[in-house]
Amino acid sequence: MAQLNVREAEGPVYRLTSSSTITRGDLLYITGGAWELADADSHTTPAQFVALNGNGGSSTARVMAVRACKFYDEDAVFTADSLIYLSSTAGGWTHTRPTAAARIRQVVGVGVTTKEAEIRISSPREFHVPWEVKGATSAFAQLDSGDFGGATIDAQNEVALLQQTVPENATGVVISKIRVAAEASAGTPTADITVSGNVADDSQWDGVAADATLANQATEGSAPDAITEINVTTGLDATNVVRPGSILGMRVLKDDGGTDIIHILGGHSVYRVV
């Protein structure tokens, strides 16, 4: 796409560049206050802008970039009405949706005609994904006589299991929490919570080590049967747990010797997506 002509550029931003060689049309993100080439191989390097000029390989050159513009190429290199994605080639964009495991799938534009493409990079936003309660080693039970109920754990070392799928355009997790309730008891019922991720097809369930920082989490509210939240975000922060398209597994293990019934009512995660 050496003949790209720029049309209808919106809101140009000027910055110095990194050591990368940047050319017109490259997709960029900002690091350390300078431009760097965006790359679908890492969910931490999504496209934020598209370059309107090059730097000739010089890190002292200033490059102008925008979030939205149209490119015209007389050589007809585009596919009309076909989405354009951030590529696994640094700085590149493609009509082919990335398919390899853990790649970020970021839509950055669309082919208008065979000779014209519109690049329009959205600002990051939040997306909510519920935790799905799969079951427990105990039973399902109603919470008191009300409208809530769920899988329960009521003996030491019993577990409840939850699952969730990370959006394929996620760049990270903002917050994640689950909601539980417990009957009254002597002492405070607690649970050890672990979260692990599995992203590749036909890979072992324990391919990514679960985070071990969520020990002895209180599962009882201020009163019997009170619904309370447990913030599990740090469990998702462990290395390689959250990756685009990965499936997450959560285990809630009752680690105290009490006989309270702990109800696992669900929860959700908030992801930063592009």
Please compute the mean of the pLDDT values over residues 183-209 and round it to a whole number: 82
Q: In the structure encoding, which two tokens stand for residue 243, read together?
A: 């990756």
Give the side-chain half-sphere CA count within 13 A for 109.
30
Q: Which residue has the tokens 């903002």?
A: 174
Reduced to 3 states (helix: H, G, I; strand: E, B; else coil), residue 207 is coil
Kindly report, residue by residue over 163-188, the tens digit of the pLDDT. Answer: 999 999 999 999 999 999 998 766 78
Please compute the mean of the pLDDT values over residues 51-66 and round it to a whole number: 90
Is the model's pLDDT at 18 over the cut of 80?
no
- What are the C-alpha distances in Å from 273 to residues 169, 180, 195? 5, 27, 20
Kindly report, residue by residue over 22-37, the tens digit of the pLDDT. Answer: 999 999 999 988 999 9
Is the model's pLDDT at 87 over the cut of 80?
yes
How many residues make up the chain in this entry? Answer: 274
User: Which residue blocks in 44-146 are alpha helix, DSSP H?
Assistant: none
Residue scoring higher pLDDT (197 or 203): 197
Range of lowest pLDDT (64-73, 163-172, 257-266)? 257-266
Please compute the mean of the pLDDT values over residues 224-241 and round it to a whole number: 92
pLDDT for residue 228: 94
Among 132, 12, 124, CA closest to 69: 12
Is the model's pLDDT at 1 over the cut of 80?
no
pLDDT for residue 16: 85
Q: In the structure encoding, which two tokens stand for residue 252, read together?
A: 């809630």
Under 8 Å between Cβ of 112 and 134: no
The superfamily in CATH containing domain 125-273 is Galactose-binding domain-like (2.60.120.260)
Give the side-chain half-sphere CA count within 13 A for 219.
32
pLDDT band at 152 (very low <50, low <70, confident <90, very high): very high
DSSP E strands in 112-158: the ranges are 116-120, 125-136, 140-142, 149-153
pLDDT band at 251 (very low <50, low <70, confident <90, very high): very high
pLDDT for residue 185: 64
